[in-house]
Structure 1
């Protein structure tokens, strides 16, 4: 299979699949570590990167627009819906960070997770967060509509080692005052060892390659036969007034 591609093309595919490591790239961290928050929550975004000795300022962007803050931490004391979006930062000796998405919701309950895409064996931590930290009792966590964990008092749902069957749609439910409230559902994806992208993912499956090669060969042979028959007819036929007369070929 590898012989089908010249070395230069193969090198391009490998380099395209393996992003270059950039240790100087800044990193945006959320504190607390939830990217989904409720209105009026307190959120701190912290920028990690290398600074010049004479300059410790930090540049921040929100949805591509520069923010006036120049400190290493960008504080949102009272989150609003318009604070939702992507945040990026950069320090004097670092490259621009990857964007971190923040979602601000309006609801009584919100399901939070440290990560929404996890690998097999990694922990999963879910939190049933209430608006303005209003007390919640009889909290229950659901996966794909089925109850998974119940707490009389509000507590985090912790899965020490994720398995493929832990993928699915999750939400939480609890009692606030006299009302039974539920969060909206969110998707958690657990990736197995075979789900990561490799160089082989650039190539189609073997049966597709075989089919394409066979069809190409059939096309070439069919084209050759067509022109060969045409030449033979031209040498063995004479068209006169719409009639065909046959002559003996060499």
Structure 2
């Protein structure tokens, strides 16, 4: 069907596709930053992206379904289990964001990590969060069932520089009133991010594999630019073919005699 469109229309379509591909993605931020919360907590999801002039309407999706929310902030005042799931947003001048997952749990205590996959050398930060901020004392953090840190009053547990041996299953325990309560376990994984890159079997000191990949990615043009060039080349070939085809048909159907054009009847 697209072959029937005039070249100008095809050019407009390709240009529109290129502009859409050039749009940067919106980003969803959580406030507070935790993606694991307890029932009745309040959560705000904020959409960061470019807006047209005098139009800050925002689209929000929850588990793939478009919601009625149209503000840049998606406020959940009293989180319920059914609020769990993936959230995406889009502004007028941005592409849809990557999904952000929110987990709403039921219980007295909840372990909240800043991130569950940590690069070696980065800090690990854990919070023992209580339902409705109920006071908790004698708080202890565990890794793979072994006690790691004890606080008489509830405090966050921080490992300044993560190592591979810090990977494992973490939970916290504390006293609420007269009860000894424990949180669910959370898996924390530490990965070695600063591996040295190798070219031709030779290691390049001080250059990480991520930097090499980033350099290679920046060397090649984005896919939509390649597509645009290919389509333009195809349009040129189609136009050229049509031109010669029309010229051939005219020569076959016209007979020039004495400077006048006479038409011969086709067989």
**Alpha-carbon distance, 1:148 to partner:** 0.5
Provide the TM-score with structure 2 as the length reference.
0.64
CA distance in 1, matches of 2:140, 2:172: 6
CA distance in 1, matches of 2:69, 2:23: 24
1:138 maps onto 2:152 in alignment: no
**Alpha-carbon distance, 1:92 to partner:** 0.6
What residue in structure 1 maps to residue 44 of structure 2?
A: 44
Please give the secondary structure, in 2, of the residue aligned with 1:165: helix
What residue in structure 1 maps to residue 31 of structure 2?
A: 31
The superposition leaves residues 103-135 of structure 1 with CA deviations (integer Å, 9 ceiling, x where unpaired) of 000001000011001101111110000111100
Instruction: Name the Cα RMSD after superposition.
Output: 1.9
1:100 maps onto 2:110 in alignment: no
CA distance in 2, matches of 1:136, 1:22: 50
CA distance in 1, matches of 2:160, 2:44: 27
What residue in structure 1 maps to residue 153 of structure 2?
A: 153
What residue in structure 2 maps to residue 178 of structure 1?
A: 178
Please give the secondary structure, in 1, of the residue aligned with 2:82: helix
What residue in structure 2 maps to residue 62 of structure 1?
A: 62
Please give the secondary structure, in 2, of the residue aligned with 1:127: strand
**Alpha-carbon distance, 1:144 to partner:** 0.6
**Alpha-carbon distance, 1:23 to partner:** 7.0
Q: Is residue 62–residue 85 contact of structure 2 (8 Å, CA) maintained in 1?
A: yes
**Alpha-carbon distance, 1:55 to partner:** 1.2
CA distance in 1, matches of 2:169, 2:59: 37
Structure 1 alignment gaps of length 5 or more: 1-20, 200-250
How many corresponding residue pairs? 179
Structure 2 alignment gaps of length 5 or more: 1-20, 197-208, 214-267
**Alpha-carbon distance, 1:54 to partner:** 2.8
Please give the secondary structure, in 1, of the residue aligned with 2:165: helix
Which segment is superposed worse, 173-182 or 184-193?
Answer: 184-193
Q: Is residue 141–residue 149 contact of structure 2 (8 Å, CA) maintained in 1?
A: yes
Please give the secondary structure, in 2, of the residue aligned with 1:132: helix
Q: Is residue 23–residue 93 contact of structure 2 (8 Å, CA) maintained in 1?
A: no
Provide the TM-score with structure 1 as the length reference.
0.69
The superposition leaves residues 197-245 of structure 1 with CA deviations (integer Å, 9 ceiling, x where unpaired) of 998xxxxxxxxxxxxxxxxxxxxxxxxxxxxxxxxxxxxxxxxxxxxxx
CA distance in 2, matches of 1:127, 1:158: 9
The superposition leaves residues 53-87 of structure 1 with CA deviations (integer Å, 9 ceiling, x where unpaired) of 13111110000011111111100000000000000
CA distance in 1, matches of 2:23, 2:120: 26
**Alpha-carbon distance, 1:32 to partner:** 0.4
CA distance in 2, matches of 1:63, 1:77: 19
